[in-house]
Amino acid sequence: MPRRSSVTILGATGTIGKQTLDVIARHPERFNIFALTANSRAEELHTQCLEHSPRYAVVLDESAAERLKTSLQKAGSDTEVLCGLSALEFVSAHADVDVVMAAIVGAAGLKPSIAAAKAGKRILLANKETLVMSGSLFMQAVEQGGATLLPIDSEHNAIFQVMPEKRSKDLSTSGIRRILLTASGGPFRNAALSDLDNVTPEQALNHPNWVMGPKITIDSATLMNKGLEVIEAHWLFNASPEQIEVVVHPQSVIHSMVEYIDGSVLAQLGNPDMRTPIAYALGFPERLESGVSSLDLFKIGRFDFEAPDTVKFPCLRLAFDSLRMGGTAPTILNAANEIAVDAFLNRKIGFVDIPVLIESVLSRMKSKAAETLEIVIEADQQARQLAKNWMLER
């Protein structure tokens, strides 16, 4: 019997982390859990540790780590509890780890993802910020470390599935004309621009199709999520901004498409359930049962498509602008967006203030060549401070 693959899940208590555990639990003969990590949800991580028996559990928050350590000891668990960012890097690069699910939301997932790349792991990348903040550095680490990179975002996973198995770095020489990145349009697709002034966090968190964490759900409502995916697609598939087009597809059944130079358009379809791309990446190149129900095309009945409204949703335009600027501009965009989304969720700014804040920070910071991780982190921190200052000054 072949050895089971050992998996570290970064962000185990989040939506992607839970769905990864669900898929893995369906295939106990193929996978075992090496490490589970969380920011501060000690109680949830406690339950997961008792169910999946990882060798390590990592918590960023020190007090939460102590609570988890005490509770696991009382429960008789052998799981060792670690704390801090260095511990995340340790469980990502450990020699016994085969697969790393990188599902930490935000900039906190950057260093452990790079550590996994340098150590040559199979990386299931669900953390957008790794590529948005440090795309060049991360892709270089993947190549130098001999890592295998598999995208988990449903859109990028779809693109990966319908691209040629063997392709050159230049899309055009692989027969590809463009990438068609689909977007649901979010909960305010049909809202008037004037209606967005009074949007509440509860309304923005009510996504019509997907079940996601709060930050990603707000990004979907502003279309920043799609903007970040545009930047990701640039790095994952070596696509220029002109080779990437966003198409609003409200049903969220066609997860993305690739157009070839002969006029063919290949698409990947499926129910809006993240277990499909997770199972695809875990089993690649094989297919694994994921627990996702079959697609009922008769029930869906129709597919609709429309162009995104970048006047109503300027975050998408800002993401394209930052990609064309290059350097640390996407890092600045991402940092300002994280501060803006958090402020909106805490009712400190309005929904329409999110892109205004981001554009202000982008205009006040000069993009630099993202040559080192230190430069990227410095730009990230400076942008966050400028975003906080913006809120104090307004």
pLDDT digits (tens, 9 = 90+) for 69-93: 999 999 999 999 999 999 999 999 9
- The reply to whether 120 and 37 lie within a common domain is yes
Alpha helix segments (H runs only) across the chain: 15-25, 42-52, 62-74, 85-93, 110-118, 128-145, 154-162, 201-204, 214-222, 224-237, 275-283, 297-300, 314-325, 329-345, 353-364, 373-393
| Residue 13 and residue 75 in one domain | yes
Instruction: For 2-16, give one letter per residue: b (16+ CB within 10 A) or e.
Output: eeebbbbbbbbbbbb
**pLDDT grade, residue 210 (50/70/90)?**
low
Do 391 and 331 have their domain in common? yes
**Residue pLDDT, tens place only, 337-383:** 999 999 999 999 999 999 999 999 999 999 999 999 999 999 999 99
Q: Is the same domain home to 304 and 175?
A: yes
> Do 104 and 15 touch, CB atoms closer than 8 A?
no
Do the domain assignments include residue 195? no
**Measured between alpha carbons, how far is 47 from 45 in angstroms, rounded to an integer?**
5
Number of domains in the chain: 3
3-state class of 101 per DSSP? strand
256 in a structural domain: yes
- pLDDT value, residue 107: 73
Q: Identify the three-state secondary structure at position 59.
A: strand
Cα(325)–Cα(359) distance, integer angstroms: 13
pLDDT of residue 206: 86
Question: 56 in a domain, yes or no?
Answer: yes
301 and 176 in a common domain? yes
**Residue 284 CB contacts under 8 Å (≥ 6 apart), including other chains:** 150
Measured distance CA(213)–CA(135) in Å, rounded? 23
Tell whether 285 is covered by a domain. no
Residue 390 belongs to a domain with what CATH number?
1.10.1740.10
Q: Are residues 61 and 120 part of one domain?
A: yes
Q: What letter represents residue 83's amino acid?
A: C
Cis peptide leading into residue 285 (ω within 30°): yes
Q: pLDDT for 149-195, tens place per residue?
A: 999 999 999 999 999 987 777 898 899 999 999 999 999 999 999 99
Return the percentage of the chain with pLDDT > 70, whole number.
98
In a 13 Å sphere around the CA of 79, the CA atoms on its Cβ side amount to 31
Indicate if 18 and 143 belong to the same structural domain: yes
Residue 319 lies in a domain: no
Phi, psi of 107 (to 5 degrees): -65, -20
> CB neighbours (10 Å) of residue 288?
19
Q: Which residue has the tokens 């016994």?
A: 96
Same domain, 25 and 144: yes
**Alpha-carbon distance 139 to 125, whole Å?**
12
Mean pLDDT of the chain: 94
CATH number at residue 142: 3.40.50.720
Is there a single domain that holds both residue 120 and residue 176? no
In contact, 247 and 181? CB cutoff 8 Å: yes
Q: Which amino acid is at 267?
A: A
Distance CA 37, CA 97 (A): 14
Mean of pLDDT values over 55-73: 95
Say whether both 147 and 47 belong to one domain. Answer: yes
φ and ψ at 13, to 5 degrees? -90, -5
Rounded CA gap, 116 and 145, in Å?
A: 9
For residues 13 and 87, membership in a common domain is answered with yes
**Tens of pLDDT along 292-317?**
999 999 999 999 999 999 999 999 99
Query: What is the Cα–Cα distance from 75 to 78, expressed in whole angstroms?
Result: 9
Rg value, the chain, Cα: 20
pLDDT, tens only, 25-52: 999 999 999 999 999 899 999 999 999 9
Q: Does the residue 316 lie in any domain?
A: no
As given in the structure block, the two tokens for residue 260 are: 């070839």
Residue 215 falls within a domain, yes or no? yes
Q: Could you list the residue range(s) of the whole structural domain that residue 14 is in?
A: 5-151
Q: What is d(CA 338, CA 213) in angstroms, rounded to the nearest whole number?
A: 13
SS3 letters for 253-309? CEEEEEEECCCCEEEEECCCCCHHHHHHHHHCCCCCCCCCCCCCHHHHCCCCCECCC
pLDDT at 211: 66
User: Is residue 288 included in any domain, yes or no?
Assistant: no
Using a cut of 0.85, tell me whether the model's pTM lies above it: yes
The answer on 158 and 305 residing in a single domain is yes
